[in-house]
Amino acid sequence: MADRISLMRATEEELIRISTVMGLALNLEEMKKVKRYFKSVDREPTDVELQSIAQAWSEHCCYKSSKPILKRFIFGINAPQCIDVIEEDAGVVAFDDEHAYVVAFESHNHPSAVEPYGGAATGIGGIVRDVICMGAQPVALIDPLFFAHLDYPYEKLPAGVKHPRFLFSGVVSGISDYGNRIGIPTCAGMVYFHDRYAGNCVVNVGCVGIMKRKDLRHSRARAGDALVLAGGKTGRDGIHGVTFASGVLKEAEEYRSAVQLGDPITKEPLMHAILECNARGLISGMKDLGGGGLSCAVSEMCHSGGCGAEIHLERVKLKESGMRAWEIWVSESQERFLLSVTPDKVDSLMAIFDKWDVDATVIGNAVSGSHIRLYHHGELVFDLDIGFVLDTPVYERPKTICNIESEEREMREPESYNEILKMLLASPNIASKESVIRRYDHEVRAATVLKPLQGIMGKETHGDATVLKPLESSFRGIAITADVNPAYCELNPFWGAASAIDEACRNLTAVGAVPHSFADCLNFGNPENPQCMGEFYECCRGLGYMASSLGVPFVSGNVSFYNESSALDVSIPATPAILGIGICDDIRECITVDAKEESNPLYVVGVTKRELGGSAYYGLRGERGGIVPRTDPEVLKARMAALRDAMAAHMVASCHDISDGGLAVAVCEMLIGGDLGADIDISGMNLNPSGMRCDYKLFSESNTRWVVEVWHDARADFEKLMHDRGVEVSAIGYTKGDGMVVMREGARKLVELPLEELSTAWRAGIGL
């Protein structure tokens, strides 16, 4: 049975009460729009209809606050490699003449803040479905994660807010358990700590898949198609998931029922069954059931195909008895797909699902027209025009542009560079993440050519990017990296976001890949706050500036607003996480980060500037001001091309981008992986301005720079190539076999430490 809701004569106060009591998360103007529609058709709505409208109009589903800005800066950066971008669940990009790769990148922040294990696990489950429903085989998972510091004082946490160590442990366990059980390698990501994540951690998940271009399936249905629900049973878990993700977090336990329950044991055969059916040409279109459940999946598939639908909810297989029609319709229970199938292929499709022991049921049909009609045990409980349901609100929110960076201030030069360097290496955002990486199976499927940890066995260091060989018959590879520095965005959102693109490109170039596409996961606070919208606007402007100048498109993405806790009354820092995908023509030519051989010369490619705003060094010294690193896409393109040419000519032994901690940390990370010492002299570095102090030279995080180890017999050729290409390069020293790391400016020694001592500081890590 469905309830009729008295809406047509409701006052404004009653409209708000209806929205609140039913958990619709619709504001007064939206409720008034709904009221006008039902007055125009001269009837009261059912609870099923109101719940469905609320799902479609949620911030999470329709991007009502972000769409105008995304259209202006992010959408439409087209490139020849794009096959299907932004419009579907995942982006589809040309890999070679026969194959495409598929990219999806989303957030699961609110669920993870409430129930970290389940929230993170279902994030992985959902992003894998996004890739599968395009017709692709998932080959890699990616997980940028953001938490408050693990030593955050318990006494500072209000009631209902979980401690970051509990969240961190649960999230990593959820990702590892789900990814490992479905046999997809988790092979790239990042972990970042900032105390403004105390009220709302950020859990972003990505997936890359590979497919034959002919197997591409769109999320659409055509009139006459059977609509098949395949996979897990439908329950009360995940109800109101998208609406609770479209508001500020309150008491966490209040939302526990909105967190879905993942089931990787069901996902594994479901994934194989879907891909087998698709390879046999039995599926006309498909969509995963994520946010909004059947409500959004049916509406979007039918709208895309220009048809309506007739659905019989009693045919949906349930986890529990007594579920109401609206609960079945909006439930976000996991491991489910909606398939459109021509009637003549239904029996063959069902036979394959039966073989894999996976539930599949015809729940209705696509029909001519634009109405969706739902029946529940013979009762018509829903009859709406799809055009109205998907005529979602769009807002031009007020925004305030506010950059809080300041001119670089003089501070006292450190008394001991040895201690500063060790402290930087041990700091949470730089220290080894091996304890996290080792929880994930990044070797499964045997296609991970460059691992997340690189170097001599037992001495490994962090790689800049992971490289996969997705096809058995080809040496063409896919490089993957994830990057952002929220400390930059906190000071200057435009240049912070631009720096995230620069770093993604540096990391891809460091392994020899050509940047090919981006995906973005844009995590922000309350969009009704003008300062938050100002941050969002500036970050999108920075991303668009870089990507359009580089000619590299955003092929997939996600916006996550309301990332803040009412208990702490503070939003997260602007966090535009970037997933970078690069193409390697031949994976056998890829470069790793670990130093290779003693007596090889070391170079800095690029110019070091006094840009330490948001840097790890300033954070260590308690300085919150400074200038965020700038970047020029034309300079970036020139340096990337020159460096790749040097790699192709076999001049480069190892390469590492310079980012957190600056030159000093980058060199140490290379040496740790290669178990080598070095003698570094910073007196001849390319600087702007000249005469920079030693600590700024060592710890500046200026963009578009790499440390390159060159084979000793290729030194002259390397310097000539860089000179001929107009790329600034500085010789800074040599690798050594004595295990000592010396950093000096001419005769003045700044650092003199055994590599083992530096490695111990770095490996102390963050622990789990």
Between the two ends of the chain, the Cα-to-Cα distance in Å is 49
Q: Convert the pLDDT of each residue in 169-225 to its tens digit.
A: 999 999 999 999 999 999 999 999 999 999 999 999 999 999 999 999 999 999 999
Contacts of 94 (CB under 8 A, 6+ apart): 80, 81, 82, 83, 100, 213
Rounded alpha-carbon distances, angstroms, from residue 753 to 262, 421, 460, 482, 678: 48, 10, 19, 31, 10
Q: Where does the pLDDT of residue 248 fall: very low under 50, low under 70, confident under 90, or very high at 90 and above?
A: low
- Catalytic: which of 108, 194, 303, 312? 108
- Give the per-residue pLDDT at 212: 97
Domain coordinates in residue numbering, the chain = 591-768
CATH code at 591-768 = 3.90.650.10
- Give the per-residue pLDDT at 210: 98
Tokens of 466: 């992971």
Are 189 and 238 in contact by the 8 Å Cβ rule? The answer is: no
d(CA 291, CA 297): 9
Strand partners, 580: 481, 518
Q: Is 462 a catalytic residue?
A: no
- Centre a 10 Å sphere on the Cβ of residue 173 and count the other Cβ atoms it contains: 16
Q: Give burial (CB, 10 Å; 0-12/13-18/19+) of 359.
A: middle
Contacts of 250 (CB under 8 A, 6+ apart): 160, 565, 566, 567
Q: Convert the pLDDT of each residue in 282-332 to its tens digit.
A: 999 999 998 889 999 999 999 999 999 999 999 999 999 999 999 999 999
Mean pLDDT for 338-355 is 98
Instruction: Kindly tell me if the per-residue pLDDT of 241 is higher than 80.
Output: no
- Give the per-residue pLDDT at 257: 60
- Give the per-residue pLDDT at 404: 86
Q: Convert the pLDDT of each residue in 706-721 to its tens digit.
A: 999 999 999 999 999 9
- Centre a 10 Å sphere on the Cβ of residue 380 and count the other Cβ atoms it contains: 11
Mean pLDDT for 101-130 is 95
Instruction: Kindly tell me if the per-residue pLDDT of 85 is higher than 70.
Output: no
Give all strands of the β-sheet with 99-107 in edge-to-edge order: 82-84, 91-94, 99-107, 202-212, 137-147, 186-193
- Catalytic: which of 60, 99, 376, 442? 60
Q: Is 371 a catalytic residue?
A: no
Instruction: Kindly tell me if the per-residue pLDDT of 251 is higher than 70.
Output: no
Strands 652-657 and 706-710: antiparallel
Rounded alpha-carbon distances, angstroms, from residue 254 to 115, 258, 565: 11, 9, 13
d(CA 371, CA 519): 34
For the question of whether the overall pTM of this predicted structure is more than 0.85, the answer is yes
Mean pLDDT for 517-533 is 97
pLDDT more than 70, % of the chain: 97
Instruction: Kindly tell me if the per-residue pLDDT of 344 is higher than 90.
Output: yes
Q: Which of 8, 48, 759, 138 is nearest to 373 (CA)?
A: 48
Higher-confidence residue: 726 or 242? 726
Instruction: Kindly tell me if the per-residue pLDDT of 115 is higher than 70.
Output: yes
Give all strands of the β-sheet with 748-754 in edge-to-edge order: 652-657, 706-710, 601-605, 729-736, 677-681, 740-745, 748-754
Mean pLDDT for 373-395 is 96
SS3 label, residue 52: helix
- Give the per-residue pLDDT at 160: 84
- Give the per-residue pLDDT at 255: 52
